[in-house]
Structure 1
Amino acid sequence: MDIVTAQSRESHVAQGVAEIVTRLDLPRRGRPDFVAVHFGVGLHAAKLRDALLGSLGAGALHGGSSCLGVMGRDGVDIAGAGLGAFAIWDAEGSYGTGAADLGENAEEAARHAALAALAQAGRSGEMPDMVWLSVAPGREEQVLAGLRAVVGAETLIVGGSSADNDISGSWAQFGPDGVHGDGVVVSVLFPSQPIASVYQSGYAPTGAQGHVTRVEGRRLIEIDGRPAAQVLHDWSGGVVPMAGQEPCSILAASTLWPLGRVTRHLAGVPFHLLAHPAVAHPDGSVDLFADVAQGDHLWQMQGSADSLVARAGRVAAQARESAGGAVAGALVVYCGGCMLAVRDRMEEVSAGIEAALGDVPWLGVFTFGEQGVPVGDEAKHGNLMISCSVIAQPDP
């Protein structure tokens, strides 16, 4: 097995792909078995996919847009059009990618994409070691349900909701068959070496808590019978604003003040899955970037710039330890909202990951929703989360 990553800061697709090809050393290495490509939407997704297919020739080509750019061994590129590739050559492994528009039934679309990926890998009916996922924001829970129907509840599913630079909806996903704006791309990995993954957040509960008493989809209407916006405003000490006569974006204000739900206890310590409040409405309701249900127990969570900067390195260190200490490569998912909150300190974030992983290829993507597996649980969708998935180093 061989893993190589490459990055480009070129703002034009042709030059960017040419640089990726050179950095991956494709003329010598030949066609990779799997390539995950992540990019800022300053690059045209359809042109990028076509150029990559023509240059890389990878059957298992997985693409997803990332907020402003990417990070990795070559540094942090968040100018708007950063491009990164994570490539695997593994003659003893199997890899496949499938994609579909979400359409009216996101669960069925995910099932279709997963079955196509398994078929391309030549492993239909088998359970992969890992699923790498890129999906349009909005229906991630349904997508996870569809994937579990194919690969089982215990399979490691990791990835992120594709992002753009300004939450305008210009995110994109692509697989071998085409480009999607509201779609899902699923890659199944059966590597010849073990995989380990860690999924956490950098937030802690404040003590303020309540129960969902009214919700419609991802619109949280009431907590303990009170308008949700008023509750969030009170719990945050006024940091999260309320709407006036028009809806009010609270995405930035709530980045350090999200909501959390306890999904597991590990050695008596609760694991909080986060939901990021996005918009406050004049009627007191609040739109979220994740589903909550009637009766859910919500906690007011709080983070800090320091906690968001330090957590990524800790997650990477835990993933490396879980893999036995020797790592061949890593994929990192870092929430785009967290990145924007600590944008001027992202070099510190990258340095922390680099120090934790050691001198190995890794690529980081900035997402508008994160999917991963808490310890002892099944795959979940959350916001403001961080994951690091590593493939162990082959024995010498």
Structure 2
Amino acid sequence: MQVGVGYNQENNSTLAGRLAAEQAVKQSGEPAITFLFSTENYNQKLVFQAVKKVIGKSKLIGACTSGIITNAGVLEKGVGICTISGSEIQAVTCLQENIALSPWKSGEEAGKKLRMSGIDSGTVFVFPDGFAANLSELLRGIYNVLGPDFIYIGGGAGHNLKSFQTHQFTDQGIKSNALAIALVKGINFQIGIGHGWQPAGQPMVITKAEGKKVYEINGRPAFEVYSECLGGFDKINFPSYGMKHPFAIPCVGGNFLIRDPLKIEEDDSITFVTEVPQSTVVTLTEGTFDNLITAAGEVAKTAVNTVKLPKILFLFDCVSRYLLMGKEFKRELKAVMEVIGPDIPVMGMLTFGEVGTFSGIPYFHNKSIVVAAGW
């Protein structure tokens, strides 16, 4: 197994894609699987076409992002490529369109297409449109077909909070409102996932909700309860409070799924980044920068605790952590890099929701960090 990583920040979309791919392929040789991440500053179609010309028959998967994560930091503008070669590597990809129309069915259909390859174990890389509805349902559809014999990792694609059109890539093409998914066998992965948010206050029940909108908590207007729990504040101040106090949903193994509040509506309901089902028990959370940074380091330790030295590290870190921490986000990356050392190449992206497993089951996370060490 040989790994190549290339990054480029040229203004020209075709040139940036070609140079990043050439840099990666020079290190790996002819790849079996290629990962492509590109920021919003580019014509995604031109980047995709340029990369395809360089990687030849390689399978490809990737997505657009608001930032590419490297060993040295985050590129808010750039094209990132990771190519992996090896005679034992098998890969199959699927580009499932219109996932918002029927997330569960779309997940099942994607899972069936991967199953048809005959690959019976490995790692499933999942890159959906991060703004699509019911991504948890999409994951459940995939898992319903593929089951527990696979590792699941990835994250939601997205440009920024102002532009809601995203792009997903596979060797089959480039689409929006889609799911890019790949099944890769022949590379071992160990996964770490965490967030650093701590429950604060008493458990509450979501008594009225639909999709991403929560109308009532404990039988009262959602914003009224949320504000009261934090000492009382006006709607105009919600963005500051919402970034610092997401909700936590108890999950298997004593873990918590984080759900990120996005905005307050006129009827005092709260719209979240990801669905919060009715009748769910939730707890308000809090977390200092030190908590988040420490958690990132622990996640990295879990991932690199392998029998062999990793040859590649994939890192999917929530864009809301990046926006919240600002300059302090460098400390989070430093905590990860200090664990893995300077010699392991890193490929990653800022995600709009993260895909990772608890007890072998894939979940869609918010405000979390996923690290996958491969060898």
Residue matched to 1:331: 314
**More helix per residue:** 2
Q: After superposition, what is the alpha-carbon deviation per residue over 1:259-288, rounded to whole angstroms, capped at 9, x for unaligned?
A: 0011023xxxx3110100111112111111
In the TM superposition, residue 370 of structure 1 has moved relative to its aligned partner by 1.0
Separation in 1 of the partners of 2:374 and 2:280?
35
Corresponding residue of 1:135: 128
Instruction: Name the % identity.
Output: 19
Deviates more, 1:168-177 or 1:16-25: 16-25
Q: What are the within-5 Å matches in structure 2 for residues 27-38 of structure 1? A: 29-38=28-37
Q: After superposition, where does 1:297-308 map in structure 2 within 5 Å?
A: 297-308=281-292
**SS of structure 1 residue aligned to 2:209:** strand
For 1:32 and 1:387, the matched residues in 2 are separated by: 24
Contact 2:242–2:261 under 8 Å retained in 1: yes
Alpha-carbon distance in 1 for matches of 2:11, 2:289: 30
CA contact (8 A) 2:156 2:352 kept: yes
Q: Are 1:82 and 2:78 matched, yes or no?
A: yes
Q: Which amino acid aligns with 2:23?
A: R
1:310 is aligned, of 290, 294, 297, to 294
Aligned partners of 1:118 and 1:188 also within 8 Å: no
Cα offset, 1:58, TM superposition? 4.5
Instruction: Write out aligned runs for 1:276-315 (5 A).
Output: 276-315=260-299
CA separation of 1:72 and 1:104: change in aligned 2, threshold 3 A:
same
Q: Mean Cα displacement is larger for which, 50-59 or 295-304?
A: 50-59
**Hey, what's the Cα distance between the residues in 1 that align with 2:57 and 2:286?**
43
Matched, 1:9 2:3: no
Picking from 271, 275, 288, the partner of 2:255 is 271
TM-score, normalising length: structure 2? 0.92
- State the match for 1:105 in structure 2: 102
The offset of 1:159, in angstroms, is 0.8
**CA deviation after TM superposition for structure 1 residue 310, in Å:** 3.4
Residue 63 of structure 1 is matched in structure 2 by 62
- Residue 210 and residue 163 in structure 1: after superposition, are their counterparts in 2 closer, same or farther (change >3 A)? same
**What 5-or-longer segments of structure 2 have no aligned partner?**
none
Q: Which residue number in structure 2 is paired with residue 73 of structure 1?
A: 71
Aligned equivalents of 1:43 and 1:30: distance in 2?
26
* Pairing 1:255–2:243 present: yes
In structure 2, the CA distance between the partners of 1:343 and 1:19, relative to structure 1 (3 Å rule), is farther
Per-residue CA deviations over 1:220-248 (Å, capped at 9, x if unaligned) read: 11110111111111223346x536xxxx9
Deviation at 1:154, TM superposition (A): 4.9
Structure 1 length-normalised TM: 0.88
- 2 CA distance for matches of 1:95 and 1:307? 37
Aligned residues: 371
Aligned CA-pair RMSD? 2.1
Residue 22 (structure 1) shift: 3.5
| Counterpart pick for 1:210 among 198, 201, 204 | 204
1:128 touches 1:151 (CA, 8 Å); kept in 2? Answer: no
